[in-house]
Amino acid sequence: MKRVFILLLLFLFAGTWIGQKMIQDSGYTLLAYGQTTIEMSLWVFLVLIVVLFFALHWGINLFNRSLQSGTRLRLWSGSRKSRIAHDKTLKGLIALSEGNWWKAQRLLSKSADHADLPLINYLAAAHAAQEQGDEQACDELLQKARSATPEAEIAVGINQAQTQLARGQLEPCLATLLSLRQQAPKNTYVMKLLNKVYIELDDWQAVKQLIPLLRKNKALKPEKLLETEQLCYQNLLELSITEGSSPEEQRKVLAETWHNMPGQLTQDDVLARHYTRLLVSIGAEAKAEPVIRDLINRNSDNELINLYGRIEGDNLKKQLENARHWLKDDPLNADLLLTLGRLSQRNQHWGKAVTYFEQSLEQSPKAETLSELARLLKNLGEADKLRQLMDQHLSVIGGGLPALPLPNKGTTKIAPL
């Protein structure tokens, strides 16, 4: 308030002083240009200069404001488009999560040009197109994503590979992944996809070469990596058999493949079981016997115990002794008793074989055991015992038969037709 009062006093004194000067002497100003002259008092000239100064200042401010208005209009227009794109992107992503593919594709693709991250819009729209089976639109959207964000080539390439894999286009998918692997050799997701494609293509040699990289880069969880190794070497073992033209060559190639496997895998129960089944399938039972024996010693399994009784090793007596040793730890195991019966029969211990078969039937009546015992009794000439056995275990043979009325004993026999 004091400042305003002081300024008013100053203007008052200045006006009084200027007024006195104007009365004392009005002054003279002459402006001449060529033949034109303008005459006026000094004070009028000074007033004109002040007026012109303020008019020029006002004009410049008006011009600047008009420029700023245009810029503001453009900024407002761009901001409005960005807000609309943001809203459409949000609605498109919600539609995508709800499985409304058509709506998601339409909203995401239309809002991509003005979106903050057009790459996200194009990739999500491509996914929606793929879900609708529109492969052409999907490919076009992926190409737009690549053009919109060239530095995201790896991300776009991975999405393209996933799309090709979903379509079953394994060869193009493999080409895409190999190209990505050159650009990003340590990308673990590319490795995982590559492993999946190799498995789909049954290219087990390629899977074998990829496994060390998967382990080194921790691309798969340990349990998943073990499953991959088991699947890979199971198939390599099977393929090795096809390389031999004779049983002897098959046994040789299979053994080489087994021994060339990583050391820890030869101790894997799943692979060892598969290896023994392949040995048995090509008639190499003698080679399978020690492998099965080691597996049973490590982890007793009824399926392996049953298989041990079906094969013929190099030393039948030793094979029987091994099975007897296992009986000490599990004397009531029906499968082990069946195996002992078979091994006793191989060693021509007929009485012991009958005893073991009977004990196995007592623990678990099975058609397999009954058949073995019946065959042996028949060849021993034990007709009465065989008939008694069949009467006693008829339910094992006829399991699953419907309940039907049966004639009483002594009923008149049916006359022949």
Single-letter code of the amino acid located at 269: D
Distance of CA 342 to the CA centre of its chain: 48
Distance of CA 21 to the CA centre of its chain: 96
Residues composing the chain: 417
Beta bridge partners of 36: 33
Beta bridge partners of 37: 32
Q: How many Cα atoms are found within 13 Å in the side-chain-facing hemisphere of 132?
A: 20
3-state secondary structure of 132: coil
Q: How many Cα atoms are found within 13 Å in the side-chain-facing hemisphere of 149?
A: 20
| 401 contacts 374 by C-beta, under 8 angstroms | no
Each residue of 230-263: pLDDT tens digit? 999 999 999 998 887 788 888 899 989 999 998 8
The mean pLDDT of 3-7, rounded to a whole number, is 72
Structural tokens at position 177: 């992944």
Q: Which residue has the higher pLDDT, 305 or 47?
A: 305
* Cα–Cα distance for residue pair 322/380, rounded to 1 Å: 27
Each residue of 141-187: pLDDT tens digit? 888 888 888 888 999 999 999 999 999 999 999 999 999 999 999 99
**Whole-number pLDDT of residue 76:** 46
| Residue 138 burial (10 A CB sphere; 0-12, 13-18, 19+) | buried
The mean pLDDT of 287-297, rounded to a whole number, is 90
Residue 69 confidence (pLDDT) above 70: no
3-state class percentages of the chain: helix first, strand second, coil last, to nearest 5 = 75, 0, 20
Residue 334 confidence (pLDDT) above 90: yes
- Mean pLDDT across the chain: 83
| Residue 159 burial (10 A CB sphere; 0-12, 13-18, 19+) | buried
Which of 361, 387, 383 has its CA nearest to residue 372?
361
Each residue of 17-64: pLDDT tens digit? 666 666 666 666 767 777 777 776 666 666 777 777 778 777 777 777
Tell me the whole-structure pTM to 2 decimals.
Answer: 0.69
